[in-house]
Structure 1
């Protein structure tokens, strides 16, 4: 595979490769970029003054945007996080003319072979497919089925779950496995009496993020790379399969024998409960109880597998991948809406039958009709008038909007539940990071970084390219705005390096690109939760389930796993590169 031709074909003619760091704007954009990433790692919130909150609240009440209330508004906060800070950074750079409209346009619509808008369309489409499939209870059913197969052997159950999470993450991606698998493990370890559940939750997190390197569709970072270097599904998967398999075979013994060898973390034997817990039948005893929508699970599974198959088949003929995934997501959405509408109509029929039956019964008392839209003001503590005085309720815009939303969305509760789980916050974050990296390129910094990378690989060759990019990109995920920001930046650096060289050895190119693919996925389990949005999601779900993982614990237990996985995968990648492409 001649990757240099693919990259050079994707380079945009209005982005010169000889841009240099020249003035204060270059320094400003570099400082803003790294300050932004620091805040992404360490988000915080600023309490707004009470006078500001009261002023805004009273203004909204007078404009009838919100209903009048006698209760003082809760304290409001300004959240300084991975959404607000990149937005402020981009606006600041625009105001100071460090970036212009061209940079903004390229950060959204694409440049140099990276098309953010297409990548995000593919990402959201595949995310809807995966989360909709998970909403049917399929992943939870399979997890309970695997747990039952593990029997009463703790190590056997731990190993089976490791294989299960690897397989699921490779097919549907890491986010659905984090969403469903973390909740499942919190429940399973609690009913089995495994305290603390450290070995189980960390093994799941590692498996999910490691296996997401296998398919282009399994992680947004893979989508960025495929767009930047015109990689087909077959080419990409065949290149990372062996390094990933070697890491998977090595990481589990490291976890079970070295990292979690303390007694009790992985019990020798466990007792599977077969009684009712909290009024519900335990899923380990009856896995079928976890399958909420069997027809939907069958339909979703077939649709997802067909979509992945078409993506593999069409990737070799140049069909944009989002044009395959988006129609499939629309089909799944149509199926979900149809299912919800049928349930709504069935419930209406049942409710109507019950009402008619009650109408035929003799009256047992006086029933006053209550209109939901017109409640007595005194019920909300708003009756400030005199007794007997009629007070007309005030209509507020927020009340009207909520009423309309409830009437419409109440008919499709399943679709609403799926949409709530969609990682839509990734979309503006990714676009903002694309813009910031494009700004670095416009001010010459990507050229500087590419020169550094070129000097490194000129001295170290294939070994340095594979090792440096695998370990380096993984560690940079902690300081470059998650693994998405790291992949965007380093993909542009490798592009710039390739385009600035007259003749780049194919083996060094290959090792650089796929070292980045491996490292950006493995970077999720390194030092900080914010190395990936999956890490922050995982932490929040565990907190909701009463399991608290400290930052020092996260780093201490992950760094060894990351080094083992990176060294093993990097070594296999080096050997694979030398065999296939030479030095």
Structure 2
């Protein structure tokens, strides 16, 4: 809420009223701090006791940097983010559209991801990183992607050899059966039930010799691993890919990082937002915006009432329309002549109304799961991880916290208006 790029609703309001990046932050930094403090206090009260917050939290002995999939990419992304924010601040005085400033940085980051994937994987073929990281002691049950690694204990030599002239059985699952036996010092991996074909040899960093059959088709859908030197023996399913055949997954294997980014993009926001713009324009052309503007004009006898009234009405609308269409709708209402030309709509009142709208679009979106796009995506993530908060449970907990937080932020805006005007 403190930065105007923190929420798409902030951008909508700032673009509508030609508010610069610096001006927005100057007005909203104190309401943001007040809302954070109020939220912390209320959360401590609501979730008091060790039932919700344990007295001690065991910190895992893990190096955070070890979880970075692409450390250089993370540094590049942070640099692009810092540069884009700096350019937004510098160009905000000229009222340059946000997409013109942020678009080039997004394209640079996207190009870097494409280059990184191409440099690492190159043409689609045998992945030399199938066996890696020899510092692990167990093999767990897992589905292995061609871009993943098999972690096999302390090994100094691993050899995968073909057993030829065995019966060929067609199996569309394209999974191979592996028999691993031996000691930690030497592993012999026998690839069974596969059609005879030329061998492809790959060396990796664990002194591993891998021989695979490009045209092999598996005869079974299970993989058995037997190794006396590995503590935990379990089942691994390993897909076998054919580098000479163009498969639907070729793009996924060649550009895994780029594909993951594109899949995780919230594409559903685009048609949703576009449809809301169409609805708002339809309401405007049929006269509803003007009618609503006349009603809003009656809510502003002074700036104090205006801030609380617009803020609370916008919070209620958030839970009906969602915060993005609500912001579009209320911004159009506040810009309509029926409201803007009202004798009560002084600069002090108008400024209070628009920042009350900003607060409502950010904090009102936290009252129910459907009041914001972020809430819907958060709920989707929880459901995918088999954890569900539920609509009424979410509402029940937030009703004990958010009213105090929203009123605190609106009150700070009133204090700012009193001091500045």
The verdict on a shared fold, with TM-score over 0.5 as the criterion, is yes
Pick from 102, 106, 115 the counterpart of residue 325 of structure 1: 102
Is 2:47 the partner of 1:260? Answer: yes
Is 2:285 the partner of 1:508? Answer: no
In structure 2, do the counterparts of structure 1 residues 465 and 344 end up closer, same or farther at CA, with 3 Å as the change threshold? same
Tell me the equivalent position of 2:266. Answer: 423
| 1:477/1:520 contact within 8 Å kept | yes
Runs of 4+ in 1 over 4 A off after TM superposition: 346-354, 358-367, 369-376, 402-405
| 2:320/2:371 contact within 8 Å kept | yes
Tell me the equivalent position of 2:5. Answer: 217
Task: Give the TM-score normalised by the residue count of structure 1.
Answer: 0.52
Aligned equivalents of 2:60 and 2:124: distance in 1? 35
In structure 2, do the counterparts of structure 1 residues 364 and 222 end up closer, same or farther at CA, with 3 Å as the change threshold? same
Tell me the equivalent position of 1:434. Answer: 277
Deviations 1:476-509 (A, max 9, x none): 11112x1001101100110114443367311100
Alignment of 1:481-492 (within 5 A): 482-492=322-332
Aligned equivalents of 2:343 and 2:161: distance in 1? 90
Alignment of 1:402-551 (within 5 A): 405-457=248-300, 459=301, 461-480=302-321, 482-496=322-336, 497-501=338-342, 504-526=345-367, 528-551=368-391
In structure 2, do the counterparts of structure 1 residues 326 and 405 end up closer, same or farther at CA, with 3 Å as the change threshold? farther
Please give the secondary structure, in 2, of the residue aligned with 1:246.
helix
Pick from 293, 297, 302 the counterpart of residue 70 of structure 2: 293
Pick from 30, 44, 49 the counterpart of residue 242 of structure 1: 30
Deviations 1:288-322 (A, max 9, x none): 22122111111110110110110111010132221
Q: Which runs of 5+ in 1 are unaligned?
A: 1-212, 275-284, 380-401
In structure 2, do the counterparts of structure 1 residues 361 and 537 end up closer, same or farther at CA, with 3 Å as the change threshold? closer
Higher relative CO (Cα under 8 Å, sequence separation at least 6) belongs to: 1
Pick from 195, 209, 230 the counterpart of residue 368 of structure 1: 195
| 2:297/2:345 contact within 8 Å kept | no
| 2:123/2:254 contact within 8 Å kept | no
In the TM superposition, residue 365 of structure 1 has moved relative to its aligned partner by 4.6
Alignment of 1:83-482 (within 5 A): 213-256=1-44, 258-274=45-61, 285-345=62-122, 348=125, 351=128, 365-366=165-166, 367-368=194-195, 405-457=248-300, 459=301, 461-480=302-321, 482=322
Aligned equivalents of 1:536 and 1:260: distance in 2? 24
In the TM superposition, residue 473 of structure 1 has moved relative to its aligned partner by 1.0
| 2:164/2:195 contact within 8 Å kept | no
In the TM superposition, residue 375 of structure 1 has moved relative to its aligned partner by 8.5
Pick from 543, 551, 576 the counterpart of residue 416 of structure 2: 576
Tell me the equivalent position of 2:189. Answer: none
User: How many residue pairs get matched?
Assistant: 328
In the TM superposition, residue 543 of structure 1 has moved relative to its aligned partner by 2.3
In the TM superposition, residue 464 of structure 1 has moved relative to its aligned partner by 1.2
Deviations 1:483-538 (A, max 9, x none): 00110110011011444336731110000000000111111211x31101111111
Aligned equivalents of 2:363 and 2:105: distance in 1? 29
In the TM superposition, residue 352 of structure 1 has moved relative to its aligned partner by 12
Please give the secondary structure, in 2, of the residue aligned with 1:410.
helix
Give the structure with the higher percent strand. 2
Task: Give the TM-score normalised by the residue count of structure 2.
Answer: 0.71
| 1:525/1:559 contact within 8 Å kept | no
Is 2:344 the partner of 1:556? Answer: no
| 1:474/1:521 contact within 8 Å kept | no
| 2:12/2:327 contact within 8 Å kept | yes
In structure 2, do the counterparts of structure 1 residues 273 and 498 end up closer, same or farther at CA, with 3 Å as the change threshold? same
Aligned equivalents of 1:218 and 1:360: distance in 2? 52
Aligned equivalents of 2:375 and 2:214: distance in 1? 42
Give the structure with the higher percent helix. 1
Please give the secondary structure, in 1, of the residue aligned with 2:254.
coil
In the TM superposition, residue 559 of structure 1 has moved relative to its aligned partner by 1.6
In the TM superposition, residue 363 of structure 1 has moved relative to its aligned partner by 6.7
Q: Which runs of 5+ in 2 are unaligned?
A: 132-157, 167-193, 198-212, 222-244
In structure 2, do the counterparts of structure 1 residues 369 and 515 end up closer, same or farther at CA, with 3 Å as the change threshold? farther
Aligned equivalents of 1:372 and 1:478: distance in 2? 56
| 2:117/2:256 contact within 8 Å kept | yes
